[in-house]
Structure 1
Amino acid sequence: MSDATKSYKSFDAASLLPGGASIHRLSALMTLLLLVVGFALSSQAFFSVNNGLTILLQTSVIGLLGIGMTMVIITGGIDLSVGSVLALSGVVSALAVKAGLPVVPAMGCGILAGAACGAFNGLVITRLRIPPFVATLGMMLIARGLALQITGAVPISGLGNAFGILGNGALFRMVEMRPNGFPKVIFPGIPYPAILLLIVAIAGAYLLHRRQIGRHIFATGSNEEASRLSGVRVDRTKLYAYTISGALAGLAGNVLMSRLVTAQPSEGVMYELDAIAAAVIGGASLSGGVGTISGTMIGAFIIGILRNGLNMSGVSAFIQQIVIGLVVIGAVWIDQIRNRP
């Protein structure tokens, strides 16, 4: 049996069959349930409809970033630029609207800008042979600098109601006008960002587990040299993964800026850590070759519910950062234990 074949078999066992990754994902799910129960007991408002919608909206951005990050991490890389690319993409979409483009094509421009940043990351990593940490750290600074430069570090407002539909709209929302002229929400509906996250998650899982490029992504992270010898175009696979990560960062930027109905060039700071945390908590290995979209979704909801619950409990934002940091360290420590021979 060749090394390449072994690498594919290690991918299958780690990602699809009952094993280390599945156990890790199950433990993450148990953690999520414990958080829900704990915060529900501490606050009666936790299970309210409005709070549930808030959690969905907060998690949608983390989830979109996390899906792209998962693909990159599976290849054995990392993308530290997604937070800055999110801000740049949102700014590009807003500027396109200001230039007269309809909202949908304008947001498409933002996604293309994100994909271009991701492709640049992939080219620097594969052509210049610069480590992913350094390459994406450079892009983090470049994208943030561009976002601040082209806006003069000033938020872009006056984008119109149509720009806010993606972030604030909902499917099946039912509103009734009262006799006094004020609207009454009968059913808040399903937020568009949550629907978008579900669609992207299903597409990402399908790509990873049912398409050839997905098998190549896993094989590259499991054993890059063996994959190259077996005919896998490793550089193209990495370029594909980083481009997807950038495009999803652009999509997340549109969702976030649409929620605000304002393009903030300073948004997205430290979002890359939330994305990495979601992927690792969900079972993705920083060593590469292991990871699932479903696990990342669980990790994203853990981060979202943790932040929401701590906010409702009156915990300061500074303490929240400490807690999230400890969670990230714990997840990586568990990952290291799992990978020990």
Structure 2
Amino acid sequence: MTERQKDLIQKFAAFGGLVILVIVFSITSPAFFTVGNGLTVALQVTSIAILGIGATCVIITGGIDLSVGSILALSGVVAALAVKNGGFPVWLGMFVGILVGTLCGFINGIAVTRLRLPPFIATLGMMMVARGVALQITGARAVSGLGEGFGVLGNGALFRVERIGDDGFPNVTFPGIPYPVVLMIVLAIVVSLMLTRTVLGRHIYSVGSNAEAARLSGVNVTRVTLFTYMLSGTMAGLTGCILMSRLVTGQPNEGIMYELDAIASAVIGGTSLIGGVGTISGTAIGAFVIGIMRNGLNMNGVSAFTQQIIIGLVILLTVWIDQLRNRR
């Protein structure tokens, strides 16, 4: 059995699990399988999926990024402060926030490639630094008073249909596709094409499979690794802007434990923690598995603590299966 066949089996196993979850929750909760709840789940999944896209590229190279939750918070509050205190237009403030995320990813990459720090330690340090900076520049308080324009990215929707009723108030005929969902789809397609159809993508896989062999083959391992950490930081910065836009406030405590969700979505979708194996489509499936599981358990009245136990067991089972696959 080839590696590609193994990857397909892993991906279809995750997709099969996703279908089973949808069927089970549709039976146990009549409100689950509705258009409104479907859009809600998609909106909730966007953060996990976008972070997972960056995490997948890093993990494929054999690394790990534990800092994305903190980078998310720092980028979001920087965007909020740029709009409120700096007088920046909303789009420019969010662009600055995304740049901050990219810079943090660049620092992670330099620490891993130039300083030769283990990825776990380098990104753990960034996780603490970014969170501390976010709390410091905000005084550990939420940044509010950002105006309605700041909430368009997180709360707007494409193809939204409204009609004015007889009472003079707008009635929503179709809620539309939320902008974060559109961004998630576009980013997933672009990064997937980058991994599968470009030289850079092949180099990312080769670095994860065998970094020394890739170097001897002429691959610039340092530059490729640095790119993946910068991409992860950029995805975290964008996610931070989306989340702060949804809240219409800058929350320095946002994004706690999000890095684990991102890694979990990648692993559930078939990305191997030893590197060299992984797909964006698999990560998207993994993100929906986590999102649908949480949504369905909420609808069935399962406590948040029990949800953590269940999701943790799913992650352990998935990693164990991945280890068995690698041994064979």
Does structure 1 residue 100 correspond to structure 2 residue 103? no
Aligned to 2:161: 174
Q: 2:76 aligns with which of 90, 99, 108?
A: 90
2:15 counterpart (16, 19, 29): 29
Which residue of 1 is the match for residue 142 of structure 2? 155
Where 1:45 maps in the other structure, the secondary structure is: coil
For 2:40, the equivalent position in structure 1 comes to 54
Pick from 182, 197, 200: which aligns with 2:184?
197
Partner in structure 2 of residue 70 of structure 1 = 56
Q: Give the Cα–Cα distance (whole angstroms) in 2 for the partners of residues 188 and 264 of structure 1.
A: 27
Amino acid at match of 1:52: G
Q: Which residue of 2 aligns with 1:109?
A: 96
Alignment of 1:180-329 (within 5 A): 180-329=167-316
Tell me the secondary structure at the aligned position of residue 141 of structure 1: helix
Aligned with 1:71: secondary structure? Answer: helix
Equivalent residue for 1:164?
151
Q: Residue deviations 1:90-138, cap 9 Å, x none? A: 0111011111111111111111000000010000001111100011000
What CA distance in whole angstroms lies between the structure 2 residues aligned with 1:40 and 1:33? 11
Partner of 2:128: 141
The unaligned stretches of length 5 or more in structure 2 are none
Per-residue Cα deviation, 1:247-281 (whole angstroms, up to 9, x for no partner): 00001111111111111110100000100010000
> What is the alpha-carbon distance in structure 2 between the residues aligned to residue 310 and residue 61 of structure 1?
19
Superposed CA deviations along residues 154-195 of structure 1, whole A, max 9, x for unmatched, are 011111111111111111101122233432111111111111
Question: Moved runs in structure 1, 4+ residues, more than 4 A?
Answer: none
CA positional deviation for 1:333: 0.7
Give the alignment's TM-score, normalised by structure 1.
0.94
Deviation at 1:75, TM superposition (A): 0.1
1:124 aligned onto 2:96: no
**Structure-2 separation of matches of 1:91 and 1:198:** 25
Q: CA RMSD in A?
A: 1.1
- Hey, what's the Cα distance between the residues in 1 that align with 2:28 and 2:247? 30
Q: Unaligned regions of 5+ residues in structure 1, if any?
A: 1-9
Sequence identity, in percent? 63
The size of the alignment, in residue pairs, is 327
**Counterpart of 1:114 in structure 2: which amino acid?**
G
TM-score (normalizing by structure 2): 0.98
